[in-house]
Amino acid sequence: MPEITILPADAALNGESPAWCTRTRRLLWIDSRAPALHRFDPTTGRDEAWEMPALIGACAPTARGVLLPLRTGLHHLDLSAGTLDFLAPAPCDARRFVLNDGRCDPAGRFLLGAMYEPLPPGELSDAPQAAPLWRYGDGRWTTLTDPVATSNGLAWSPDGRTMYHADTPAHVIRAYDYDPATGDVSNPRVFARVEEGEGPDGASVDRDGFYWSAIYGAGCLLRFDPDGRLERRVDLPVRWPTMPAFGGEDLGTIFVTSANKDLPPDERAGRADGKLLALPAPVPGLPTVEVAGF
């Protein structure tokens, strides 16, 4: 088992969306529930935070800052100026859904999903409770997939021709044929089923094309080969890991975000749950792609 380090960043209610920025050599990540963008420096241990005005579902680096899908819509944060600019409304009913697990494809297109979380007083039982995966570009959203209950696990194979997408409560990870030239998807099929915990959460793909999935509620990472066969399990000192991402020197470190929101407040102190973790990767990862057009 690899040595796992608990990093000195603040504990998060729901840490998510780690993304290594090669230009700044910093790790971007978010707390979706105490909404803030964080930037962690592994060299110094310093963790900066920018509080957000609404729940946040992901972060994706750009040349000037970070793309941020908030419940109120898609925004861009200029890190130098500290300005948060509105780009587009959410592609779904913001009273019923929060945006969740967005990421860039290898060409710099931004894709984004959602999860059902209605504002009080809630919804009637027959209200739609699933949403598709969308692609953002030229100020508009394009629907790519059938609806899922909770969008997670978005990642691509090293050649960009396979897209992975998980539906957490369905305990399933799907693979799609992906056209790198157009960003279109086709041929959905089951890649893997995960019956542990509450299901597969965020994920990343390494240089050899193996898919690393954080299993929420089961305290582990699962590594699947390109054919969907389980290759290894890495147990973690947290119960609710949310997403792995490759970063650090030569992309040889796996950073893992985690959550503690399911713990009573008086039980969170002194635990690793909610902390940022790091462990050596058996194979380096793929570089984070910045959102094109910024």
SS in 3 state form for 96-111?
Answer: CEEEEEEEECCCCCEE
C-alpha span between 6 and 55 (Å, rounded): 25
4-27, pLDDT tens digit by residue? 999 999 899 999 999 999 999 999
Instruction: Inform me whether the pLDDT recorded for 128 exceeds 80.
Output: no
In sequence order, the β-bridge partners of residue 5 are 278
CB neighbours of residue 110 within 10 Å: 24
User: Per the structure block, which two tokens stand in for 264?
Assistant: 């009573």
Catalytic residue, chosen from 31, 105, 167, 201, is 201
94-103, pLDDT tens digit by residue? 999 999 999 9
CA 155 from centroid of its chain's CA atoms = 9
Instruction: Inform me whether the pLDDT recorded for 1 exceeds 80.
Output: no
Q: What percent of the chain has pLDDT over 70?
A: 99
| Cβ contacts of 241 within 8 Å, gap of 6 or more | 201, 214, 215, 216, 219, 220, 221, 256, 257, 258, 277
Q: Is residue 201 annotated as a catalytic residue, yes or no?
A: yes
What is the reported pLDDT for 121?
84
Helix or strand or coil: residue 274? coil
What is the reported pLDDT for 125?
65
**Quick one: 122 exposed, middle or buried, by C-beta within 10 A (0-12, 13-18, 19+)?**
exposed
Confidence band of 124 (pLDDT split at 50, 70, 90): low
Closest CA to 260 of 220, 216, 222: 216
C-alpha span between 218 and 221 (Å, rounded): 9
Instruction: Inform me whether the pLDDT recorded for 130 exceeds 70.
Output: yes
Q: What's the one-letter identity of residue 101?
A: D
184-209, pLDDT tens digit by residue? 999 999 999 999 999 999 999 999 99
Could you give the domains of the chain? Answer: 5-280 (2.120.10.30)
Compute the mean pLDDT over every residue in the chain, rounded to the nearest whole number: 96
User: Per the structure block, which two tokens stand in for 102?
Assistant: 């967005």
Instruction: Inform me whether the pLDDT recorded for 43 exceeds 90.
Output: yes
